Each structure stands twice: as C-alpha cells, then as structure tokens.
Structure 1
Amino acid sequence: MKTKILFYSFVLSGSLLSSAFSYAQVEPKEPDSIALATTEFENNFFEALKQKGIENYDKALKSLEKCLVKEPKNPVLYHEIGKNYLALRNFPEAEKAFLKAKEIEPTNRWYWQSLYDVYYQTKDFNRSIPIVQKLTEWRKEYYQEDLVSLYMYTQQFDKALALINEMEQTVGPSDKREMYKLQILSDNKYKKPQKETLEEAIKKNPKEESNYLELIYLYSESNQEAKAQEVAKKLEAEIPTSDWAQVSLFKFNINNNDGKKASESMFRVLESKKIDRKIKHRVLNEFLIFASNNSQYANDLEKAVNYFEDDKEVNVAKEVGKFFINKAKYKEAIHYLEKSLAEKPDDIESVELLLYTYAESAQYDNLLKKSTDYIDIYPTHARLYYFAGLGANQMKQFGKAKDWLDNGIDFVVDDVELEANFNRQLGEAYSGLGDIKKKEAYFAKADKLIKSKSNK
C-alpha cells in the first residue's frame, strides 16, 4: 500500500487566508476593532504555521486554539490541529480534529485523506475502508489500489477479487494485484468458478494472454496437466508470439519425453526479453536433467548454456559442471568447467573442481600441467600444490611430487583432511623414491590426523 502523506501547499499571498478567513463569524464592529481582530487571527495562524514548520507542534497547537476562539467553525483550523496531533502521534486527538473538519466541510478531499492517514498509521484497516471508498470519488484508480490491499488485509477476499477483476478491465493488470489474485485463487473455494469464468473470458476475448496464463496455473495447481496443456496450445494458436505459452509447453514436452519440441520451446523462452531470468534458469535446469539422461541433446544443452555467458549473478557453466560431477560424468563435467574458466579464468573454485575432475578421470598429465600453471597465479593456495603432487606421483615423477608437496603443506590452515592427504602423497613420493622409513612416517601421520578429526 502506498504511504499517504499529503501536505497543503500554502501560499502566503492569500490562498490559505482566503480559505481560513472565509469562515469568520463577523459581528458588526467599529472599523478599528475589526482590523485588530483580523490582525490577531493572522498573527496566531501564521505563528502556528511557523511553529509547525520547525516541529514545535505543542506551540503550534496553542496558537491554533487561540484562532479557534475567533472562528470556532473553521474547518481549516481543525485540519491544522489534526496535522499537529498526528505529528505528535496523538492519534485520538488527531482523529477527533479531522472528523470535525470533515463534518464542517464534507466535500474537501484532504480532510478525508488526513483521516485515512490516522487509521492507516494505527493499522485500523476496517475503519480505513469506508474512508478510502469515499476517496475513490475524487481519484478512483489511485485509491482503488489501496482498497484492494485493504480488502486483502481484512480477508474480504470476495470483494478483493471482484475489484481486481474490475481493475484489470479498466486500468490493466499489475504485478501486485496479480500476486493478490494468485493468493486468493490458491484457495479451493475459488478454483472451480474461476476456471469457468476464465474459460468464458477466453471465448469472449481470445487475444487476452493473461486469461490463458491464469487458467494454465489453476489447472496445473489442481494436477489437471492435460487440460493445462490444452490451454497452452490454444494460447500458442491464438497468440503465436506469446513467449509465456512456451514456458508451459516446455514443461509438457519434457514430461512427454519429447526432447525436440522441448528444446524448441526452451530456446523461445531463453530468447525472450519478457521472461524473468529466474524462470530461464529453471527451464535450463529441467532441460539439463533431461539431457543428462538423453545424450543426443548434448548440443542443445551447450547452446542453452551459451545464453547465460553474460550472467553476472550465476556462473552457469560452472553449475552445470558441478551437476555432472555429482553424476560422476567427468567428461561432461570437464567440458563445462573448462568453458567456465574460459569465461572467468580467475575463478578459483572452478579451478579446484576441474583439477578434482582430472584426478577422478585419471587425466594425470592434465592434472599436473594445469595445477602447476595455476600455482604461478595463486602461489599460496595449498590445494593446488596437493593436486600437483598427486599428478606428479601418478606420472611417477616422485622427486617433483615431493618438492610440490613440501612447498605447499605450509599453506594448509585449519583443514585436517587436506593436511592428511598431503602426508599420504608425501608417503607415496618417498615410497617411489625408495625411502620406506619416511613413507611409513608420513602414512602414520596421515592416519593420526584422520583419527583426531573423527574423535572431535
């Protein structure tokens, strides 16, 4: 709901005075006494404005009370009194003053608006509703937005839904009202009649995209997937340019194991400027799972990943690489991790994942070369030395392995498992070099470290 803070723009040259003074109850007096009374009223009124302007609300109220003695039926004075009490958060007195102003001059919108300010700040939403209903007489569309929210806050969902539907026809949809509508329609009470209403609306106006989308949502929520797919196909036929139809059709095609049609819908979604990036990520994730079980769509998957090359929030190629690591599909994992590093070469997590994948797939020559290359860039990163030592041991370059491991173990900090792995590889290196005593010492140290970790 929009915060309602409205101020009078008083122009000292006379707009305020003409309003305030027009309510004066003037008895026949001598000219001098009239001038004196008018000057006294002016002085008190302007003093009140001045004190309110510097946030001396109590002093402002005292000056306004003096004005009331002269003009007890002046609504402008009560409105000013109410505004000062509202600033002091004295809501009962503010309400009383605004009610009095409204009673004297019920056609002045600002008096109703100020009363709404009181009820909104005190979260008295039930009393706000009739005030806002009155305010719609002046600015219908503006205050209808507030009225929708007030109906939601007071759980008058029938009224909220009726007003939302009316506003969709008069001013068009909005994200906030759409959210409210979905919240209401999630209640089973509304689903059946709403489906019928939407079906009828589609017949009357087959080019209104939002009706199809809401109907697809309702059918999907009630597990009527066949009906939802039917609506999506109607939407595609009536509005071929609808990108949202492709979101639904993609899901149906995946569920039907139709990879060709699913990929076609996916690319329409990925190319769309209307569809949120989060939805595009969701579509890619579903296609990734599908493609991992259907290798003939590997090229489509890679093409889809390319759409996210400029994504500043998520390194998509790296995430796809992680997915394939979890599936123990190391060839695919390596492909996407190398792709990730081509885009972001300084991503150390991608480097470590790639080295791990080389090790798991026994690509020890690549493991040794890539790890030593990155040591030049990150000379204090312990895990790079570990992978270099592992690769060198597997390549039977035991002297190089010992050197890499000796140089890197000092960089291990608070990582017992990594330290144990360093010691194991040092044991392997000394075993290859024929030093059995040191081999057994390093293996024993590794075992001790693992036992100490398990005892914690």
Structure 2
Amino acid sequence: MKKKVYIVILMFLGILFSSEAIAQEIETPAQDVNVDDLGTVTDEFQEYFFEALKQKAIENYEKAIVALQKCESLQPENAVIHFELGKNYNALEKYEQAIPSLQKANRLKPNQEWVLVELMDAFHDARDYEQAILIAEKLLPFNSKYNENLADILFESKQYDALLSLLDKLDSELGLTEYRTGLRQQIYALTDNTPAQIQVLLDAIKLNPENERNYLNLIFVYSEQDMQKEAFETAKNMEKIFPTSKVVHLALYKFHLDSGETKAALNSMKLILEAEEIDPESKFKVLNDFLLFVNENPSYEDELLEVAEMFSKSESSPEIYQRFGEYYLKKNQKEKALGYFELGIEKNLDNFDLLRNTLLLQLDLSKLDNALKLSDKAIEIFPAQPILYLIKGAALNKKKEFTEAAEILTFGLDYLIDNQIMTAEFYDQLSITYTGLGNAEKAIEFNEKAAEIKKSQN
C-alpha cells in the first residue's frame, strides 16, 4: 500500500475548531442591569450601590462585593443586588457563591433574560453542564441565538447525539451555517466517523465554495484515509478555484514530491515560503519534508540550500541551518552537518549553542584553522565560557602550537566553576601541551589530576 501523504495543513489552519474558539464566537454580551430596576431606595443604599459599580468597573471585585453586601443588609429582597453579587463572584471564579446569588435573583425576579444569561454562564464555567443546558433551553423563547450556547454546552459535555439532533433541527429550520458545519466536523472527527466527516466537508464546500479551509480539511481527511486519488483531485480543483492561492500548495507540494515531480514540488515550496499568510511552523515542516527528500536524493542539495535561504530571509530565522545541521549530525553525516552549522554561524554569530557545536565539529574534523578563527570570535562575544578556551587550546595542541595552548588553557581554567568533567578535559589538554613543550614533570602532574577526577566521577 502506498505510503500515506501526511499534509501540514493542520499546522496552518487545523481541521478542528477549538471549543475555546467556538465559545468566543458565540459569547453572549455582558449583561448590565438598568438602575431603574432598583426600585425605591435610600440615599445610603444608592451610595453603596454606586460604589459597588465603580469598584466593579475597575475590576476590584472583592470591594464591590463588600459594598453590595451592605446593600443587601438594607434591602435583602432586592433582586438586582443578588444579580450584581453573582456577577462579581463569577468574575472571581467563585461559582459556588455566584450560583446561589443568581438563583435568588431569579426567584425574586423570575424569567429575566439578563439573570438567566449570567446564571447559564456560571453553571457552564463551573462545569455543571446539565444545569447550564436547562437554563439555555429557558433562554430560547427570548432569542434563537441561544441555540448556539446550547450547542456549545452539549459539545463540551460530549453529548454528541443530542447535539447532532439539535444541529439537524436548526439546519432544517434555518439552513446550513459555517458555525454548525464546523461543530459537525469536530463531532465526526472525535468519534472517528470518517464517511460522515467527508460528507459534512463536502456540504461545507457547497455552502461556501470560497472558503479555502474546507478544501484543505477535506484533503487532509482523504490523505489520512489513504484516498490519494480523491485528495489530489480535491487539491487540483482547489487550485483551479483559487488560482492565486498559495495555501493550496501546502497540499500540492507533497503530492508532487511523492509523484517524483520535483520541479513542481520545488515551485510549490517556493510559493509557500514566500507567502505571508502561511505561518513559519508550517513553512518549516515543508522544509523538513524536502530535507528528508534530499537525504534520499542528494543531487538536489543545491535546491535545498536555495529554499533554506528563502526561509531564513522571509522569516528572519537563520536557526533553520542549525536544525538541518543537527539532522545530519544525528545521521553521522558530519561534513554535511558542519556545512549547515557554518552557514548558520555566518548569519547568527550570537547563538552560543550553534557556536559551540560548530567549533566541536570543526575540531573533530580537524578543520583547525577554521576552529581557531571562529574560537577567537566566540571568545570576544562570550569571554566567560570556558569551553571556548578548551576548544581553542585543543586546536592549538593539534597544530603543535604548545606555548599558545598553555596560555589559553590556563586562562580558561579561571572561568571553571564546579564542573569536574570539563576540569578533567582541561587537565588532559594541559598534559598534552606540556608533553609537547618537553616538560615531563608538569605533563605527568596534569595527567594524574585528570585521572583522579575521572576516578572520582565513576
């Protein structure tokens, strides 16, 4: 069976809307009570009440509650006071206190929309979904918009069958909407109902053929199910409908790569890397796919460098070379790894980890002149990092420049703090240095010091 085509669409748009995003989309506006609802009150009551409103306005909810409690002592049966108490407790996420206050407001002034909305929100935030559902149903006679709140609560409480029935009813009465279609997509994805998921995406495309997201989500579902023909046809259809779209190439480049159409794949990748509307993480995943391709097809190394350069410029992200270098280093392809590390250093000399890794690899591959030049630059930028002196000293030892090696290694030792392993490495290098200088006594001394530390570490 042909390998699945895994597409990076999800990283850019996502097949699923988060429940938080849906909640924001349907969030009900803040309810404010009309002061006229207070009824006949004393001057003292008004003073406390307006103090409460002032404190709530500056988000000082604890002080607002204190003022409202004074109002309550004056008029314990005033529904507005209990409503305001509930709102302030809600703001403090003290739902166990907010709910009784709002329930009392509802008893004192039954069937008020502004009270019911706040009570529904309190039950919802307290995760008492059954009560939240009951309140949402009571709100439906006021306005059909509360169906969306009801749908959201049913979704969060995982009552998918009830939610689908509600969506069917609303679609029948009001026609399809993107919001409800999005909920269906989530439900079918979460319940692994792929045929229904595909159908709802096809319906969504019919509902709004100008929405790129639905095409991309459909391509992803087809790809996940190894329905490559359908996925590619959808991608090509999307390209016809959106001829200037660069997002579609998040799907197309993968098909082109798998089909051996490298030129077309490269063209798609370049379009992706140039697109401002595509996020950096998705771009990096595209580059990573091409990196894997080049690893099996080394003749395209120059093209990889070209697209990496594009990414580095468009996203101001020279770290891409470091990632490529680390990839090849894990595969023990040290020369390739070093090439990418050095490209990264050219653009980002202040990256200490990249500096250290580049120097260690230069030393390992006996690129001694390069290591010495780079270590000098590194020490200027990071003068208190002992490993830089160690690397330079080791490079000087390899070049048999022992006098300078002794100086730099001794200097670097002053920066070591509680690092026994690195101290032993310094002593090893100093032993080599003094052997080269013909000072056998000091060479033996440093060799024994190194051996003693290594013994204590085992």
TM range (shorter): 0.7 to 0.9
| 1:194 corresponding residue in structure 2 | 197
Q: Matched residues in 2 for 1:140 and 1:62: separation? A: 38
Kept after mapping to 2: 8 A contact 1:52/1:84: no
Match status 1:6 vs 2:31: yes
Kept after mapping to 1: 8 A contact 2:185/2:200: no
Kept after mapping to 2: 8 A contact 1:52/1:60: no
2:132 to 113, 120, 128: 128
Q: Matched residues in 2 for 1:155 and 1:258: separation? A: 44
Match status 1:346 vs 2:346: no
Kept after mapping to 2: 8 A contact 1:116/1:132: yes
Q: Matched residues in 1 for 2:432 and 2:174: separation? A: 73
Match status 1:443 vs 2:458: no
How has the CA–CA distance of structure 1 residues 193 and 122 changed in structure 2, closer, same or farther, with 3 Å as cutoff? closer
- Give the number of aligned pairs: 411
How has the CA–CA distance of structure 1 residues 272 and 228 changed in structure 2, closer, same or farther, with 3 Å as cutoff? same
Q: Matched residues in 2 for 1:237 and 1:370: separation? A: 51
**Percent of matched pairs sharing the same residue:** 27
Q: Matched residues in 1 for 2:98 and 2:372: separation? A: 75
Moved more, 284-293 or 49-58: 49-58
How has the CA–CA distance of structure 1 residues 205 and 370 changed in structure 2, closer, same or farther, with 3 Å as cutoff? closer
CA shift at 1:184, angstroms? Answer: 2.2
Q: Matched residues in 1 for 2:223 and 2:124: separation? A: 37
Match status 1:146 vs 2:149: yes
Cα deviation, 1:354-380, whole Å, max 9, x if unaligned, reads 211211222112112322343344333
Cα deviation, 1:229-288, whole Å, max 9, x if unaligned, reads 332233223323333321122233344454333322222222222222221122222222
Q: Secondary structure at the match of 2:109?
A: helix
Question: What are the within-5 Å matches in structure 2 for residues 33-432 of structure 1?
Answer: 46=46, 49-50=49-50, 52-53=52-53, 55-65=66-76, 77-84=78-85, 87=88, 89=97, 91-92=99-100, 94-102=102-110, 106=111, 108-135=112-139, 140-141=144-145, 143-160=146-163, 163=167, 172=178, 183-188=186-191, 190-199=193-202, 202=205, 206-306=209-309, 307-309=311-313, 311=315, 315-432=319-436
Cα deviation, 1:19-60, whole Å, max 9, x if unaligned, reads 666xxxxxxxxxxxxxxxxxx766687467357555333332
Q: Considering Cα pairs closer than 8 Å and 6+ residues apart, tell me whether 1 or 2 has the greater RCO.
A: 2
Q: Matched residues in 1 for 2:143 and 2:318: separation? A: 44
CA shift at 1:98, angstroms? Answer: 0.8
Q: Matched residues in 2 for 1:287 and 1:226: separation? A: 22
Q: Secondary structure at the match of 1:296?
A: helix
Q: Matched residues in 1 for 2:175 and 2:405: separation? A: 74
Q: Matched residues in 2 for 1:359 and 1:51: separation? A: 72
Which letter maps to 2:33?
Answer: Y
Q: Matched residues in 2 for 1:362 and 1:57: separation? A: 78
Q: Matched residues in 2 for 1:405 and 1:168: separation? A: 79
How has the CA–CA distance of structure 1 residues 122 and 187 changed in structure 2, closer, same or farther, with 3 Å as cutoff? closer
Which letter maps to 1:338?
Answer: E
Q: Secondary structure at the match of 1:244?
A: coil
How has the CA–CA distance of structure 1 residues 138 and 242 changed in structure 2, closer, same or farther, with 3 Å as cutoff? farther
Kept after mapping to 2: 8 A contact 1:5/1:117: no
Q: Matched residues in 1 for 2:374 and 2:116: separation? A: 73
How has the CA–CA distance of structure 1 residues 261 and 85 changed in structure 2, closer, same or farther, with 3 Å as cutoff? closer
Q: Which runs of 5+ in 2 are unaligned?
A: 1-22, 54-63, 90-96
Q: Matched residues in 1 for 2:264 and 2:174: separation? A: 33
Kept after mapping to 2: 8 A contact 1:309/1:343: no
Q: Matched residues in 2 for 1:266 and 1:182: separation? A: 29
CA shift at 1:222, angstroms? Answer: 3.0
CA shift at 1:145, angstroms? Answer: 4.6
Kept after mapping to 2: 8 A contact 1:60/1:84: no
| CA RMSD between the two structures | 3.6
Q: TM-score, normalised on structure 1?
A: 0.76
Q: TM-score, normalised on structure 2?
A: 0.76
Which letter maps to 2:69?
Answer: D
Q: Matched residues in 2 for 1:48 and 1:380: separation? A: 62
Q: Matched residues in 1 for 2:162 and 2:177: separation? A: 18
